[in-house]
Amino acid sequence: MKYLFLFFISTALFAQKKKNLDSLPALEKLIIYNYTPRPNHGYILTFYKKSSIPKVLKKALKKRYSNFRIANPGKKFRETDVVSNAHLPPRQLLFTVRNANYCSVVYRQGGRSLGTYFAFSEIIDNKVTLLHVYYLSGPTINTYDDFVNAIRQGNFSELSF
């Protein structure tokens, strides 16, 4: 009886998650569509250096955050709000993903709690025409595959500024 109850609970939670994915806004559906690999979709490029972030996107992020300092993957950054070295950047790049006109910067940000975020942008004619920042929930994101799985499962929510 206990296992039957757990089965119904897990089925109900899965159905609820599926319903939430179907009711996502158009922008979130665009993100899922762009980063879900499929045949004849074109190239999805992944970069692992902060120099791969387009300059126009860096400028837009600096404008949004007033200061967007970021460390390369594997380099030290301020993981907590306990400031042991104020000169370290508060973010660490995980990777940058590019697909056609779309570019996302996936990074960890320290503070009261360590979290994973991504900035989704559309760049046309060297201008950022769309920029939204999302928080990724769920398991830790370390690779592009982890990122795609989190996106497909709808484990992201937009930050409001």
Q: Which tokens is 41 given?
A: 């979709």
pLDDT of residue 24: 67
- The whole model's pTM is what? 0.79
Which residues, in sequence order, are bridge partners of residue 3? none
pLDDT of residue 57: 96
User: Residue 121 in contact with residue 102, Cβ under 8 Å?
Assistant: yes
Q: Can you give the residue ranges of every domain in the chain?
A: 24-158
How confident is residue 12, by pLDDT bands cut at 50, 70 and 90? very low
Q: Is 90 exceeded by the pLDDT of residue 128?
A: yes
Whole-number percent of the chain with pLDDT over 70: 79
Q: What is the C-alpha separation between 121 and 60, in angstroms, rounded?
A: 10
